[in-house]
Amino acid sequence: MRLTDLTLKELWHRKSQLLSGLLAITLGIGVIVGIRSISVVSEKAVAVNLDNLGANILVLPQAASVDNYYAADIDAPTFPEDYVEKIVTSTLPGVDNLSPKLTRRVKFGNESIVLTGILPKSEIASKPIWQQGGLKAEQIIASCAPSTVPKKYADAKLQRKGIDTLANNDCFIGYSVAQRLNLNEGSALTLENRTFNVTKVLPETGTIDDDRVFANLHKVQSLLGTGEQISAIEIMGCCNEITDGLLGKMRNILPDTRITTIGQIVSTQIKTNQLMNKLSLVFLIIILFVGGISIGNYIWANVNERRKEIGILRMIGYQKRHIYNILIMKAVIMGLAGGIAGYILGTIAAVWLGPQFAGIEVNPLYVLLPVSIAISILISVTGSVIPAYMAGKIEPFSNMQED
């Protein structure tokens, strides 16, 4: 009959009280596990959705503004194309799908259209919405997104260099351009005295890309006489890395550029992630208080109920430390049980409720099990410290009747 046996026997003896004592901590841990399970899936879903939206970091010449980029002014500033290489060779984490572009406004008859030189594979890969329209290219997904497609290149540098070329005389045209100029796939399009074959009419995206004509970057550079200059590099950056200072690191590599995020996109993901994390944190703090007080209250009631029994143990020679050990061991066992039960409850709730209320499929996050147990034990032991201390003060004659 060791202290562990004694503790387990007592727990079993008062099992109905044990269940009520475990209720608060189990529910609390369950709520945290449930929220966390859903939020992890939700963050991944947001990351995938944002991945589909395309690039979220823009590298512009120092003197340029974002307005210049969208307006495609004829004299908008440019910078050398080899800046792409500088980023590629930096191996910065969280940078994917670099898409260098040269954009200028050109005339087509009386119409003014935006001609954009691109390196196509990276452009396509960073716009999966185009791929859905029938364009075939290697699908490259931002490192922050939960890719189900194995990346072609294990080496980050090789992956970034995996860029195909677009035939010199081919071009893609945006949906609005096609409508406005009455062009179809196979049509010929003459710009700046050079004729291009329209190989693809891009599906409508609702963005500025609908008004653009995309051709090979180097062809466009030659056509416009800019030399190896580009007006922007679009990058698909991992939002977590952006939060961790990716932009600052890029500015160190390209000091004479203006590096900005496409605010709405990035802030949406960051805010969503932060909201989920804050929600988990708020619940964690509530659970720490409520769970700790609940367990403390249970242990305190248990100590009062066991005054006679503790008196018996003290009478037969148990020291205060033995009493502390018995109660803290009980708290650890309760914490363990509460953590496991809470994890199971929260996981079942998330798996069941996720598809019904959030429209997402939730799988169990096994990494949360040890975390749940650790938090639960911490709460339980913390809540039991004062009752255990008070139990040590119970006099050994508490079981006796005095004359």
Partner 1 sequence: MLIQIKDLTKTYQRHNGTINAVDSLSVDINKGSFITITGPSGSGKTTLLLIIGGLLRPTSGRMIYDGNELNLDSDEEMAIFRSNHIGFVMQSFALVPYLTAVENIMIALNVKNKNKAENRNRAIELLKWVGLDDRTTHYPRELSAGQQQRVAIARALANNPDLLLADEPTGNLDPGLSGEILSILSKINKEQKTTVIMVTHSPVAAEYGNVKIHLQEGKLSDHKTMEKVFLS
Interacting positions 321-340 with partner 1 (CB under 8 A): 322
Q: What is the C-alpha separation between 280 and 265, in angstroms, rounded?
A: 23
Tell me which stretch binds partner 1 (CB under 8 A): 1-9, 190-198, 205-213, 233-241.
1-9
Confirm or reject binding of residue 400 to partner 1 (CB under 8 A): yes
Cβ nearer to partner 1, comparing 256 with 305: 305
At 283, list the tokens: 């619940």
Smallest distance from partner 1 to CB 309, Å:
6
The number of residues that bind partner 1 (CB under 8 A) is: 30
Confirm or reject binding of residue 6 to partner 1 (CB under 8 A): yes
Tell me which stretch binds partner 1 (CB under 8 A): 92-100, 204-212, 252-260, 310-318.
310-318
Among 313, 329, 337, 362, the residue binding partner 1 under the rule CB under 8 A is 313
Among 150, 206, 225, 317, the residue binding partner 1 under the rule CB under 8 A is 317
Tell me which stretch binds partner 1 (CB under 8 A): 45-53, 215-223, 313-321, 375-383.
313-321
Confirm or reject binding of residue 10 to partner 1 (CB under 8 A): yes
Report the candidate in 381, 389, 392 with the shortest Cα–Cα distance to residue 295. Answer: 381
Tell me which stretch binds partner 1 (CB under 8 A): 166-174, 240-248, 261-269, 391-399.
391-399
Confirm or reject binding of residue 233 to partner 1 (CB under 8 A): no
Confirm or reject binding of residue 401 to partner 1 (CB under 8 A): yes
Tell me which stretch binds partner 1 (CB under 8 A): 30-38, 107-115, 185-193, 304-312.
304-312
Give the phi and the psi of residue 173 in degrees, each rounded to 5: -125, 145
Tell me which stretch binds partner 1 (CB under 8 A): 42-50, 105-113, 288-296, 315-323.
315-323
SS (H, E, C) 313-377: HHHCCCCHHHHHHHHHHHHHHHHHHHHHHHHHHHHHHHHHHHHHHHCCCCCCCCCHHHHHHHHHH
Residues 241-270: x where in contact with partner 1 by CB under 8 A, - otherwise, as a string:
------------------------------
Confirm or reject binding of residue 357 to partner 1 (CB under 8 A): no
CA dihedral of residues 143, 147, 150, 156 (deg, nearest 10)? 0
Cβ nearer to partner 1, comparing 15 with 136: 15
Residues of this chain that bind partner 1 (CB under 8 A): 1-3, 5-6, 9-10, 12-13, 308-309, 311-320, 322, 395-397, 399-403
